Amino acid sequence: MTEKPSISVERKGAQTTPSPAKTIASFISGIIKFIYTAIIELVGLVFWGINIIIIFLILFFKTISSVLHIIIVYVPRIIGRFVPPSISMKLDQVLVYAGIGLSAEEVIGMTVVYSVVVSLVVFLLSNFLGLTIMYKITASAIAFITVWVFPNVMLDALLYRRTQSVEAVLPDVLDIIAQNIRAGMTTDRALWSAARPEFGPLAVELQTAARATLTGTPLPDALIGITNRVKSDRLEQAIRLIIQGVTSGGELPAILQTVAIDMRSEHNLLKQMKSETNSHVMFILFAILFGAPLLFAVSLQFIMVFSTLFSKIDITQLSSLPEGTTAVMIHPFLITPHFYQIYAYVTLSILAFFGSFLVGLLRTGRPIAGLQSVPGMILITLVMFMVLNYILSNVFSGVFASGI
């Protein structure tokens, strides 16, 4: 009877003491909670850092864009103010002829800014490629000149294309105006009815002239305004005849139809001349696209063959022959295949560039008409050179392998 309380006390003490398994489990659970909390905090810290970086990049690019906006918009205007008035007036007229809604000050200012920026970029790129200072200066100068030449060429091309689009539809427009006048319309109403969307820039100019007459501008002045915005001798001749017919009261529809017939005859004559010069154009294209790449590819293969032969010959032994021995003086080959390959690429590109303008001159009478074919000509010429060089390298390697 006296031993029962002691037994109950021992059991109670055994229940309050944790087992080793529970201790290890609680320890592992604590470690897992700590790792989970640390990962959550680390992920939150990473996202916080990413947000900070994104905000910094957004602010950086906004600053750069605002600076570029100031440079592109305001700096050209400031620079353009220093342009002489004579040059500015001439360039303004060319921009109007080309259908570009920019002022001469803006164009010159943007050209100055872009020429400096492109030259700096080319200089830094040349520095990154490890070129010599002479090549760096030459590349930067070429980039600077190219930026100045490019706007002039593009303006001439746009002006020519706009003039061609006007002159192509001018006979049809004159026929429609003549028919409208014969139908009883007034001259300004006939001009407005002839301004159809398919006539392109000429329709816009006719609508502008018709609006001017509705606001009180005399019809001759409104028509002369068209010649001030479109550079075309045929259009100027047609408008002159319209003004003379209006002021003199002559038979204007008959005159316009006669002019339209003459323009179509002239257009057919130009087509005939173009067909007669096709043989010359084909010969030039053959020489540029196949003949020149073939010659350069053959020359490159000969240079590679002789370079390989001279690399296997000890020229110093040939130069130290005993006296009285007759031998041909042999010097190291100075032109490397790599240098000649670069020379071929540059020369073929220049040849294709000027060849495009020559083809444009033969086809249309204006060299600028060949500007649109420049990229294609250069690409086809270089690809032809690479293909012929690959074919000839296989042929030469097979011949020398069979000979050896």
Threshold 0.85, pTM exceeds: no
Q: Which long-range contacts (CB under 8 A, 24 or more apart) does 285-293 make?
A: 285/355, 285/359, 288/351, 288/352, 288/355, 288/377, 288/381, 289/352, 289/377, 289/380, 289/381, 289/384, 290/384, 292/347, 292/348, 292/351, 292/381, 293/348, 293/381, 293/382, 293/384, 293/385, 293/388
Q: Quick one: pLDDT band at residue 243, thresholds 50, 70, 90? A: confident
Band of residue 9 on the pLDDT scale cut at 50, 70, 90: very low
SS3 state of residue 11:
helix
Cβ count within 10 A of residue 111:
18
CA-to-CA distance for 288 and 349, rounded, in angstroms? 10
Encode pLDDT of 333-354 as tens digits: 677 888 888 899 999 999 999 9
Query: Token pair 């909390």 is at which residue?
Result: 37
Answer for the pair 98, 153: CB distance below 8 angstroms, yes or no: no
How far are the Cα atoms of 280, 301, 339 from residue 335, in angstroms, in the given order? 35, 12, 7
Could you tell me the residue ranges of all domains in the chain? 32-70, 85-160, 167-272, 278-313+329-403
> What's residue 315's pLDDT?
56
- Taking alpha carbons only, the member of 82, 222, 235 closest to residue 169 is 235
Amino acid, res. 305 = V
Q: Spell out the SS3 assignment of 104-131.
A: HHHHHHHHHHHHHHHHHHHHHHHHHCCC
Gap between the Cα atoms of 307 and 314, Å rounded: 13
Closest of 172, 168, 171, 189 to residue 180, by C-alpha: 189
**Residue 347: per-residue pLDDT:** 92
Number of Cβ within 10 Å of residue 190's Cβ equals 24
Classify 167-272 by CATH class: mainly alpha
Tens-digit pLDDT profile for residues 135-192: 888 888 888 888 888 888 888 888 888 888 888 888 888 888 888 888 888 777 887 8
The radius of gyration of the chain's CA atoms, rounded to the nearest angstrom, is: 40
Does the pLDDT at position 193 exceed 50? yes
**Segment 224-237, tens digit of pLDDT:** 888 888 888 888 88
Q: Specify whether the CB–CB gap between 281 and 366 falls below 8 A.
A: no
Whether pLDDT at 271 is above 50: yes
Provide the CA 75 distance to its chain's centre, in angstroms.
24
Residue 211 is predicted with a pLDDT of 84
Question: If pLDDT is split at 50, 70 and 90, which confidence band does 14 have?
Answer: very low
Side-chain-side CA neighbours of 37 within 13 Å: the count stands at 6
